Structure formats: C-alpha cells, structure tokens
Copies of this chain bind each other. A is one copy, B any other.
C-alpha cells in the first residue's frame, strides 16, 4: 500500500484516485486555490461537481492551506493542476517536498520562453529549488483518457513516461488495474509534445462544428467529416514534425499519445466548444470573454503559451514554416484574433510533388 498525494482536484487529478484506491492505496487529494468549491463539495460528501462521482473512502480531502500536512509521508506526488498552474505547483511543493518522493505529472502543455519550447516536466523541475532540481525523479502520463470515463472505470489505455525506466515500472504497478491499462515508454519528449499539441489540433478540428453550423447541412444531408479528417491528418503530420524536431520519437505519434489522444480530444470538451465559436466567425478574444470566461481551453492556452516563441523560431529558421501551417493558423486565430480560415494550399507541403491551382 502506498500513500499518494494528488495536487489539484480537477477532473483528471480526482479521476486518478479511482484506480489508485482500487489498488488499495490511500490518496490525499489537495485542491488548489481555484478548487475551493470542489473541495467544499467533496468535504461535505457530495459527488465531484464536474466528474459526477463520489470519491472513495480511501481519499482524504485537503485544502491547499493544508498541503504541508497532506504531503507528510507520501510515496508519490501527482501533479493534477492545469497548464497555467505548473509553476505555482512547483513553488508550492518546493517548501514541502522530500527529495525521495517522485512526481507524476498529468498536466498537459508546452512552455515557450521566446527562444525555445520546453515540455512541462522540465518547466516543473526548473522551478524547484536547487536542492531538489538535480535529483528529483519525474514521470508523466499520456494517452486518451477522458477523466469521467476513467472515474467510471471504463477501459482506458495510457502511456506512462519517464527517463527512469525503473521508476516507470514502479508507478505503472501502483496504478494499473483491470480497466486502467498502462504501457511505459521512456520517450518523455515525444509523448509530452504529442499530448500537448493534441489540444491545439483538437481546437482546429472543432472549427468544423462552427463551419457546419454556419453553412448548414447540404441537400443530401452531407456534413463536414472530410474537412475535419483532413485537419486531423495535418495535425498528426505537424505533431510528427515537432516531435522529431524536439528530439522525441515519431513512433509515439501513431500510438496512444499521438493518434489516440488527439482522437479522443476531438470527441468533445472545451477545445471543441471553443473551436465551434471560432468556426462561427467569433474572434477569439470575444469568444473567450463572452462565452467561456471561466473555462481553461487548453488548446488556446497552448497557442498563447508558445505562439510568440514558435513565430520567433520560424523567423530564425529554427522551425520550418512550411511544416507548420495549421499551428501557425491557430496561433494567428488565438494570439492575433485572425479569422478562422483553413490554409488548404499550405497543407501537406512536404509531399513529393508541388501543389498547383488551388
């Protein structure tokens, strides 16, 4: 039996408590300063308001003021904050974390500092104090995992990743159940790039919902799946380019973290909702402010986090503009309020033959 701290009581952090407690572990679930309502509900015995389930008996609920109490004696810390909270999480843990306690990060995203792109586990570690930074062990999870389904014990397949193969086996054995199928792979860069980019490409696929709503069904009831599928394919291709460019393995792209996670993220959720608004023709800043002011739209957050860095790297020739037309379009839409127009003529530009006559 292990004792596990989960920092962040959002849907995914809380859902992960289900397989962990099913395996007999005890979980201390600590809300962030944004999770006040959730923590109050859970402490009062209600179901998680967004996850729709009761947490198990082996889960103890804490507010973030109680973090130093909750972290005592834990064998593992799971970081379940959203991408905006990763530096906060590092700072919060700096004061209380033991050097022997590994971290399992489920936050998805990339960071850009203007010059280069970084995966979030590296950002997290960089924000830890010197004493922890060089020796802390860190792992992450990628793969198609809608939190509500995991919480309902639906079959879910994920990839655990870390540079430390022994840690990976240990973490997988803690969390693996008959419904939570876990594979392991040391390609942390490839996996993290895939699962971060899936949000912005799912946002792109979501545009089609708005396009269809605007144009209406055709006389023969034809929808726009061809268009969505082409955007999906271009997203896969750009993901492969960036994974390769950042030093990851392209095999991860046509596996759970790439194809699987992008597929599941296109099935709905906040990226799709925002995509629809953008596809309807509403500029991003208006759509965010008027319709989704309190929602974290991870695809838009990613575009904002890496937009200027990607533009800068393209200007310097460090990234190939021709390889990333869809990412650039999404950056234009989110960072510069550009209209949602699909740049067909720039898609699949590394194919062998020149494109003409579009």
Binding site for B on A (CB under 8 A): 47, 51-53, 143-146, 148-157, 159, 165, 168-169, 172-173, 176, 178, 181, 183-186, 218-230, 232-233, 236-237, 239-240, 250-251, 253-256, 258-261, 263-264, 266-268, 342, 344, 347-348, 351-353, 355-358
Partner of A144, one of B169, B229, B256: B229
The answer to whether B255 touches A144 (Cβ under 8 A) is: no
Contacts of A186 in B (CB 8 A): 352
Option from B225, B260, B268 in Cβ contact (under 8 Å) with A233:
B260
Q: Which residues of B sit under 8 angstroms from A184, Cβ to Cβ?
A: 351-353
Q: Which residues of B contact A342 (CB under 8 A)?
A: 155
Give A165 to B253 CA distance when docked, in angstroms: 29
Chain B residues whose C-beta falls within 8 Å of the C-beta of A230 in the assembled complex: 143-144, 155-157, 181, 256, 260
Who on chain B is nearest to A357 by CB?
B176
A156 and B226 in contact, given A165-B353, A186-B352, A353-B184 (Cβ under 8 angstroms): yes
Q: How far is the CA of A181 from the CA of B164 in the complex (A)?
A: 45
Please report the C-alpha to C-alpha distance between residue A232 and residue B165 in the assembled complex, in whole angstroms: 26
- Write out the residue numbers on chain B whose beta carbons fall within 8 Å of the beta carbon of A169: 353
A-B CB contact pairs (8 Å), 19 listed: A52-B221, A144-B230, A146-B226, A148-B218, A149-B218, A152-B220, A156-B226, A156-B230, A157-B230, A172-B353, A176-B358, A229-B256, A229-B263, A236-B254, A239-B254, A240-B254, A254-B258, A255-B348, A263-B263
Knowing A152-B219, A226-B145 are in contact, say whether A233-B263 is a contact too (CB < 8 A). Answer: yes
Interface centre among A230, A355, A358 (most CB of B within 10 A): A230
The answer for the CA separation of A229 and B145 in the assembled complex, in Å, is 9
Q: Chain copies in the assembly? A: 2
Q: Tell me the minimal C-beta distance from A233 to chain B in angstroms.
A: 3
Q: Which residues in B have their C-beta under 8 angstroms from that of A181?
A: 230, 344, 347, 358
* A256 cross-chain contacts in B, Cβ below 8 A: 229-230, 233, 348
Expressed in whole angstroms, the Cα–Cα distance for A268 and B276 within the complex equals 21
Compute how far the CA of A225 lies from the CA of B156 in the bound complex, rounded to whole angstroms.
Answer: 9
Verify A226–B144 contact, CB threshold 8 A: yes
- Assess the B260–A218 pair: CB atoms within 8 A: no
Interchain nearest-CB distance for A281 vs B (Å): 16
A9 to chain B, nearest CB (A): 16
- Pick the 5 closest A-B CB pairs, nearest first: A52-B220, A233-B260, A144-B229, A152-B218, A157-B230
Contacts of A236 in B (CB 8 A): 254-255, 258-260
Q: Report B-chain residues with C-beta under 8 Å of the C-beta of A224.
A: 149, 154-155
Kindly list 20 other residue pairs between chains A and B, CB separation below 8 angstroms, not including A157-B347, A173-B356: A52-B219, A146-B222, A148-B220, A151-B220, A154-B224, A155-B226, A155-B230, A157-B230, A157-B233, A157-B344, A159-B348, A165-B352, A183-B348, A226-B264, A229-B263, A233-B255, A233-B259, A237-B254, A254-B254, A259-B259
Task: Give the residues in chain B near A253, CB-CB below 8 Å.
Answer: 254
- The answer, among B173, B222, B356, B357, for a CB contact under 8 Å with A357, is B173
Known: A185-B351, A218-B152, A348-B183. A261 touches B356 (CB 8 A): no
Q: Is A264 within 8 A of B185, CB to CB? A: no
Note all chain B residues with C-beta closer than 8 A to A356.
Answer: 173, 176
Among B157, B223, B232, point to the contact of A259 (Cβ < 8 A). Answer: B232
